[in-house]
Structure 1
Amino acid sequence: MASINPHINFNGNAEEAFNFYRSVFGGEFTKIIRFKDLANDNFQVAEHEADKMMHIALPIGGNFLMGNDVPEILGRTNESENRSKIVIKAESKAEADHLFNGLSEGGNIEMPINDSPWGTYFGMFRDKYGIEWMIEFDTRN
């Protein structure tokens, strides 16, 4: 079966955001590539961007959350626009609460986690990095 691995763009704070995500989900990064790691004569990297993330990956369950910093020459990512949401299907109500409370810390809660009209335990928020999340546990399973 296919899997979905979200990839998020950041404006220079990908490492900070991913350390935060790791503090909530646990685990270890499977890959970290900095722009300086790829620098060569054909791929010049500005000194102030050398330590920024070209790629970072955190395994979550059987999938990966991936991200990178957008180089300044490509412009900025609009952190206020409505980006696609990352949906997490929790395995228990306790896990849903843990993920919701951890990831929403410092962010804006759009829908507090609670029993939903469609029969699941659901919450929605934008984290402190502008990323939108939905956490859901299906109480009917």
Structure 2
Amino acid sequence: MLVQPYLFFDGRCEEALTFYKTALGAEVTAMMRFKENPEPQPGMCAPGSEDKIMHANLRIGETQVMASDGMAFGGKPEFKGFSLTLTVPTDAEAARLFKTLSDGGQVQMPLGKTFYASSFGMVTDRFGVGWMVINPLPMP
């Protein structure tokens, strides 16, 4: 079984994909706009949103994250009740990624040492997606 996150950006998906490519070195492996849908559904997206993203697949490290503009009504996307976690091998990498994700976002817990990690921090990025960045310590 495979569990994959699917994020709905309510009209900001292309902007988010561009940000994650730069910030995280992510790669867009698939993308389809609403106007490319071979079986269009009436009401599937807001009028004038044909160029918005119906579906995209993004590879971040070894993980596949799916994304869409959803129905592209242009509201503020809400991502509540979860965070995506980036597990990294060095404190320097944790600091770099945390700083990049924090740009235009909001820090919930500053990056620092904890009993379980040499670096751990929590941030919500400019799109409202929660991230935890961690360089874990070995478990006893």
Q: Closer, same or farther in 2 for the Cα pair 1:78/1:16, shift >3 Å?
A: closer
Q: Moved runs in structure 1, 4+ residues, more than 6 A?
A: none
Matching residue of 1:25: 24
Scaled by the length of structure 1, the TM-score of the pair is 0.83
For residues 106 and 77 of structure 1, the distance between their equivalents in structure 2, rounded to whole angstroms, comes to: 15
Map residues 72-91 of structure 1 onto 2, 5 A cutoff: 72=72, 78-79=77-78, 82-91=80-89
State how many pairs are aligned.
137
Deviation at 1:43? 2.0
Map residues 75-114 of structure 1 onto 2, 5 A cutoff: 78-79=77-78, 82-114=80-112
Unaligned runs of 5+ in 1: none
Deviation at 1:25? 1.7
For residues 114 and 58 of structure 2, the distance between their equivalents in structure 1, rounded to whole angstroms, comes to: 29
Identity %: 32
For residues 115 and 103 of structure 1, the distance between their equivalents in structure 2, rounded to whole angstroms, comes to: 18
Q: Closer, same or farther in 2 for the Cα pair 1:114/1:30, shift >3 Å?
A: same
Matching residue of 2:49: 49
Deviation at 1:90? 0.9
Q: Which amino acid aligns with 1:57?
A: N
Deviation at 1:97? 1.2
Asked whether the equivalents of residues 9 and 77 of structure 2 are also in contact (C-alpha less than 8 Å), the reply is no
For residues 135 and 68 of structure 1, the distance between their equivalents in structure 2, rounded to whole angstroms, comes to: 24
Indicate the structure with greater helix content. Answer: 1
Scaled by the length of structure 2, the TM-score of the pair is 0.83
Q: Which amino acid aligns with 1:49?
A: S
